[in-house]
Amino acid sequence: MELLQSMVQSGREYFLNSAVWNGALNTLISLLCSERIRRKDHILKTIWTLCAGQRDVARMLCTPNTIRGLSSILADPSYSMNTQMEVCRVLFKICAISRKGKDVKIALQDYCLPRVSELIHQSKSEHQKQASSPQQQPCVMSIEQNVWAICAAIISLLARDSTLCCHIIFQAGVLLHCVRLLTESCEYRLCKQLLDATASYASCS
């Protein structure tokens, strides 16, 4: 695993292509979804590197089992915020795929949305503390702030794809804070998308 990680993180296209098309990615997905493996940090780092470097990887990860495996790590205090940020980035790429099967949408709703919403809730008090801190630099986002912003972006994509997700977003009470996080991270397109989707849902409900 360490050798594969070193090869992939070198950024060489040959290693990236080989890992994807010669079966290494499929093995990584199996390890990610295995309940026997307790620590999955190295697996996640390698998957994220492949996902960032290869266009087709997100589509290959677009399965209910993979989504469940990724989502189980979010809001888990045993994993560092760096690791959770990598998970959020992979889930964002999966959510950004415009055409997804019904089973994938259900998995995102059942596994991803609750964990992302939990992180959004956790961020509220911490966000207030950081915003009021005199040492806070306005143009620099901490790792935690990046995680929260990506979570808000994921919620925007889920709202775009599903009216049921819009309902859950309202019930969870995370809409206002998501708008705040997206605005502060200058993700205005995603913020508008979230507001449009939830406004459309509210007008029909």
Tens of pLDDT, residue by residue over 136-156, are 555 567 899 999 999 999 999
Low-confidence ranges of the chain (pLDDT < 50): none
What pLDDT sits at residue 159? 97
Phi-psi bin for 182: left (phi > 0), alpha (psi -120 to 50), beta? alpha
E-assigned strands of 71-160?
A: none
Structure tokens at 169: 């977003």
Instruction: Quote the radius of gyration of the chain (alpha carbons, Å).
Output: 17
User: What's the pLDDT score for residue 14?
Assistant: 83
78: helix, coil or strand? coil
Tell me if 202 sits within 8 A of 147, measured CB to CB. Answer: no
Asked whether 16 and 50 are in contact (CB, 8 A), the reply is yes
pTM equals 0.90
